[in-house]
Chains A and B, each alone.
Chain A
Amino acid sequence: MSGEQVLLSGTGGQGLILAAIMLAEAAVLAGHNVVQSQSYGPEARGGASKAEVIISDEKIYYPKVQTPGLVLAMSQEAYRKYGLNLDEAAILVVDSTYVLEVKPRQKNFYALPITRLTRSELGGEQSANVMALGVVAALGNLLTREQVTQAVLNRAPKGTAKRNLKALEIGWQLGREAELPAGNRNAG
């Protein structure tokens, strides 16, 4: 494995930094080198939020993502900043709950109703970050489901494990299905 640079972007309060920490934790469990960083505004809620993870088997010096291999955008603004001009070789995932206007993209593009599904399946928006993590981890093909599950258990706030594991399961499934060619969906 040469490495993967992942960018999780959205709005402060969506839990993307925690999702990035879980992803990084899974990478450590898998024995890779990893760095995780973030940039956010002074607000606790609202404002742009960006969390970055670099996974590699080489030593990682520069801790910020320069050429993302996978971008998750969970707000229209995040899409505009990090998704709109993303190289087509990179995977782009948008949460279609919030990202309503997208430029057509030939490949590596997944518009999934992550937050809406969290609301309907889990009765609230909490854990949308972990559902998104499931999607990203499944599409990224870097880590096993067991590694990610363990990372969520290690890092989930007290009392939220059950809910988060369910969110992860749905997200993982969503990612796996999204990867299949359109005709094969629901077939396996």
Chain B
Amino acid sequence: MSNARLMQGNEACAEGALAAGVRFFAGYPITPSTEIAEIMAEKLPLLGGTFIQMEDEIGSMAAVIGASLTGAKALTATSGPGFSLKQENIGFAIATEVPCVVVDVQRAGPSTGLPTSPAQADVMQARWGTHGDHPAIVLSPASVQECYELTVQAFNFAEEFRTAVIMLMDEVIGHLREKVELRENLAVVDRKKPSVPPDRYIPYVNDESRIPAMANFGEGYRYHVTGLTHGENGLPTGKPEVAGKFLQRLTHKLDPYLDRIQRWEEVELSDAELVIVAYGCTARPVREALGAARREGLKVGLFRPITIWPFPSGEIAKLGGRKFLVPEMNSGQLVGEVERIFGPKNIHRYNRIDGELITPGEILEKIREVMA
């Protein structure tokens, strides 16, 4: 209780990043993510870190990758229009396996859209926005408390699995202020460093762990970093057997770790005849509607993916035989993943794309309709 404070989602995200050990931020401020850059600008210099307001989002993402290659934990934050611009370099970070975290506080799009209004329309972009087959870790907080804890987690995943991790927030959660109690001493993970001298270092070694040790630039380890498909030595290659081996490892590098990566919350699912799959801001009206529905005797529960990608398909598959409702503030993006498991039968949608948060009343009405 003593630790209770009023805090905004974006602020909690920035505090989480600092708690994870972030010492570098490059960005191009954009509503509704601006507070993250503001806080970083204020706090990083005091911690001996670096804040750069870059010329644009493309440069911001490039700077983040460069900083991380020298060993810094690096962050950038943006919203839809900037997230689009960052995609090329997000792909570069994933292909070169440079740890970093990109926060996307979603606003209504497409294009410049409704700058101050919420949406959840970047779900597929967070998975497939950059071209080519690639692994993706995307986290979706539904409270200010989670903004803090999941940002720490995002950095832990980025560092452990050497990839770009996306914190997929939204305007509602980013700008919401709530009472939080920040837990200190959250576990912080740092990237695995080489245990061999520079002359024996193989930068993209393909071993059982699938995650090569990473040397910091400037510490005597010289290696080549390229977006071109490369072999274990980091140099570009056109040889199918080398390229194929690299891409197999890259695209499947998270597979052995799925159990540890995937997170979700279950509410009143044991006897539920209707399962609502909701994430981020949309989980809030659903949670409120659950109480009202239960009072009407409607057996309904919530499955809230916290890791949107990799999507927890295995867990949802265990809920087969029930009806599903997937409310989203987009035209239907994550619902496709539920349909992939069960087919479209008994999977219902509820979508709102006018920049207003879905209300508990709308959800309750939809629950009644689906269960009638």
Contact = CB atoms under 8 A, between A and B. Distances in A.
B285 A34 contact: no
Interface of B: 1, 4-6, 31, 115-117, 172, 175-179, 284-285, 287-288, 357, 359-361
Given A28-B179, A35-B176, A36-B176, A62 B285 contact: yes
A37 B177 contact: yes
A38 interface: yes
A118 B11 CA distance: 31
A140 to B, nearest CB: 17
A168 B288 CA distance: 35
A36 B177 contact: yes
Interface in A23-50: 24-25, 28, 31-42
Contacts of B179: 28, 32-34
Contact of B288 (A21, A41, A62): A62
Contacts of A24: 6, 177
Given A61-B285, A63-B172, A63-B357, 10 more contacts: A21-B177, A25-B6, A28-B5, A35-B177, A36-B177, A41-B116, A42-B31, A62-B288, A62-B360, A66-B361
A38 B175 contact: yes
Contacts of A63: 172, 176, 178, 284, 357
Main DSSP-derived SS at the A contact region: mixed
Nearest to B283: A61
B287 A61 contact: yes
Contacts of B177: 21, 24, 34-37
A61 B288 contact: yes
Interface in A104-144: none
Contacts of A21: 6, 177
Contacts of B284: 61-63
Contacts of A60: 178
B1 A34 contact: no
A60 B116 CA distance: 23
A21 B6 CA distance: 8
Contacts, number: 58
Contacts of A38: 175
Contacts of B1: 31
B285 A42 contact: no
A61 B172 CA distance: 12
A28 B176 contact: no
23 contacts: A25-B6, A28-B5, A28-B6, A28-B179, A32-B179, A33-B179, A34-B177, A34-B178, A35-B176, A35-B177, A36-B178, A37-B172, A37-B175, A38-B175, A39-B116, A39-B117, A42-B116, A62-B284, A62-B287, A62-B288, A63-B176, A63-B284, A64-B357
A33 to B, nearest CB: 6
Nearest to B173: A63
Interface-centre pick from A28, A38, A41, A60 (highest chain B CB count, 10 A) = A28
Nearest to B363: A62
A34 B130 CA distance: 39
Interface in A69-85: none
Interface in A2-38: 21, 24-25, 28, 31-38
Interface of A: 21, 24-25, 28, 31-42, 60-64, 66
A37 B176 contact: yes
Contact of A40 (B116, B288, B357, B361): B116
A61 B265 CA distance: 15
Interface-centre pick from B117, B176, B179 (highest chain A CB count, 10 A) = B179
A32 B1 CA distance: 11
A37 B284 CA distance: 13
Interface-centre pick from A21, A37, A41 (highest chain B CB count, 10 A) = A37
Interface-centre pick from A28, A60, A63 (highest chain B CB count, 10 A) = A63
Contacts of A34: 6, 177-179
A18 to B, nearest CB: 11
A51 B117 CA distance: 14
A38 B178 CA distance: 13
Contacts of B360: 61-62, 66
B70 to A, nearest CB: 35
A59 to B, nearest CB: 9
The 7 closest A-B CB pairs, nearest first, are A61-B287, A36-B177, A62-B288, A61-B288, A28-B6, A25-B6, A42-B115
A166 B287 CA distance: 41
A42 B5 CA distance: 28
A15 B176 CA distance: 17
Contacts of A42: 31, 115-116
A175 B151 CA distance: 42
A183 to B, nearest CB: 40
A63 B5 CA distance: 17
A70 B264 CA distance: 37
Contacts of B361: 66
A35 B175 CA distance: 11
Contacts of A64: 357, 359
A169 to B, nearest CB: 23
A66 B359 contact: yes
